[in-house]
Amino acid sequence: MERSPGQRGWYLSARWQRDEEADEDGESAPLLPPPPPAGSVRDTPSRGSSFGFSVFNLMNAIMGSGILGLSYAMANTGIMGFSILLLIVASLASYSVFLLLSMCTQTAVTSYEDLGLFAFGSTGKVLVATTIIIQNIGAMSSYLLIVKSELPGAVAGFLNGDESGFSNRSWYLDGRLLLLLTSVCIVFPLALLPKIGFLGYTSSLSFFFMVYFALVVMIKKWSIPCPLPLSSAIETLQVSNSTGDCKAKLFHLSKESVYAIPTMAFSFLCHTSVLPIYCELRSPSKRRMQYVTVTGIGLSCLIYFMSALFGYLTFYDKVDSELLQGYSRYLPHDTVMVTVKVAVLFAVLLTVPLIHFPARKAVLMVFFCHLPVSWICHILVTLTLNTIVVLFAMYVPDIKNVFGVVGSTTSTCLLFIYPGLFYLKLSREDFLSPQKLGACALVIFGICVGLLSLVLIIFNWVDQ
């Protein structure tokens, strides 16, 4: 029987108090009820996901389009500067998951939105849902930006040429037109499906494609000479007036450095998927899920660092904000890079509808919860979301802008601010306890970094 919000709040408060009395530290307290006795009707031989499969699911939730912008972040912070920032963001992401697990273990809440409801009532739930909507719109836009920039080159590759070898009037090499066609013919029909569970399996291929991409980046470092081949007289003049084009910088600071932390925050955001993975974990407990989190974030951090490092050591200060563009320029006919492009594009087209699903669910929950479920509402919301995403992807000039704005706002909120804020609200520990002080520091870090990054990004736009 469905509980009213008041009944649910009373039930969760009672559950919180009962669990606090039963298990002070909560390290081994399960989120789910204990399994039925052996031999009962509900008894199953292998309930839940294994540790390894849960790590894979978490890494699949973490890794996405952000990997294409991390080399640009390293070029504008230096190898050591990037390494320090990456380690800080990864550590804070792991710590914020720990705070979420601490709250969920005691409240029995199994979704980010319900955690906002339990902490701040309906206002908190709407705030979290709205943040997830904006975050997912940004994520989908970043994926479709890849389609706009890489699909023309892939088409030209299949036609045994490159983009410069065809007439500028060739419609099949117009990135915006190709984006519109693929969105109408592939993304929108898949997003219309009421249940797209099968896309969960196919989109898991995107994780392997990203790992494949990282391996190719490492291998292709020796296929592009340094100094880079010059394509124009302007580049020749620039190179002649500069030194150290093939020298890596340990620390570097420029106006583009402001995109580094937002891009990393965008790349490590997995917090909306942590709770479902927790619920599906075999013998779920906070300690066991913490091991899953540390392993998943640690391995993702390693893959991110290696791809960023070798991408930077390939192009140095000429690295593009979307790494694949550099390979399109200097290795336009390389067969391996063509396969990477096709793999990434395939992953993008199957992942966008999957990201669309929770965004649509959040829109329906926030704006249409009072209306009965209907196909008309389903189609209109799907069409509206897809239209917004396509318009963003068509007219945003650079993927770094998506990483910067979304990373400094919604990603920062979901990654740092909300977990710390919810813990400060819900935890009954003394304010001077280590966990509450850590939560407070997490909130302050998120607010300061998010606001500072956003302001500097806006000033950067105005200055251009």
Range of the domain at 153: 48-105+136-228+247-463
Residue 23: other Cβ atoms inside 10 A: 15
Q: What is the pLDDT of residue 238?
A: 46
Query: Tokens 């693929």 — which residue?
Result: 182
Residue 202 in domain: yes
Residue 357 in domain: yes
More confident residue, 86 or 174: 86
Contact present, 309 and 60 (Cβ < 8 Å)? no
Query: Does residue 396 register a pLDDT over 50?
Result: yes
Among 268-272, 291-295, 367-371, 393-397, name the one with the lowest average pLDDT: 367-371
Q: Mean pLDDT for the chain?
A: 81
Q: What is the Rg, in whole angstroms, of the alpha carbon atoms belonging to the chain?
A: 23
More confident residue, 106 or 297: 297
Helix (H, G, I), strand (E, B) or coil at 60: helix
CATH number for the domain including 188? 1.20.1740.10
Mean pLDDT, residues 90-110 = 87
Residue 96 phi/psi, 5-degree rounding, is: -65, -35
Residue 432 in domain: yes
Instruction: Please write the tens of the pLDDT for every residue from 30-76.
Output: 454 444 444 443 444 446 678 888 888 888 888 888 888 999 999 99
pTM score = 0.82
Q: What is the pLDDT of residue 232?
A: 43
Q: What is the pLDDT of residue 385?
A: 94
Beta-ladder partners of 413 = none
Q: What is the pLDDT of residue 273?
A: 82
Helix (H, G, I), strand (E, B) or coil at 464: coil
Query: Does residue 237 register a pLDDT over 50?
Result: no
Q: What is the pLDDT of residue 48?
A: 65
Residue 82 in domain: yes
How open is the CA angle 142-143-148, to the nearest 5 degrees? 90
Token pair in block for residue 192: 């219309």
Residue 59 in domain: yes
Q: What is the pLDDT of residue 14?
A: 44
Instruction: Please write the tens of the pLDDT for every residue from 181-224.
Output: 999 998 999 888 877 666 666 667 778 888 888 999 999 888 88
Residue 119 in domain: no
Instruction: Please write the tens of the pLDDT for every residue from 293-334.
Output: 999 999 999 999 999 999 999 998 888 888 888 888 888 778
Among 94-103, 237-246, 294-303, name the one with the lowest average pLDDT: 237-246
Q: How confident is the model at residue 271 (pLDDT cuts 50, 70, 90)?
A: confident
Query: Does residue 81 register a pLDDT over 70?
Result: yes
Mean pLDDT, residues 415-436 = 88
Instruction: Please write the tens of the pLDDT for every residue from 9-23.
Output: 444 444 444 444 444
Residue 17 in domain: no
Residue 361 in domain: yes
Q: What is the pLDDT of residue 423?
A: 92
The number of domains in the chain is: 1
Q: What is the pLDDT of residue 9?
A: 46
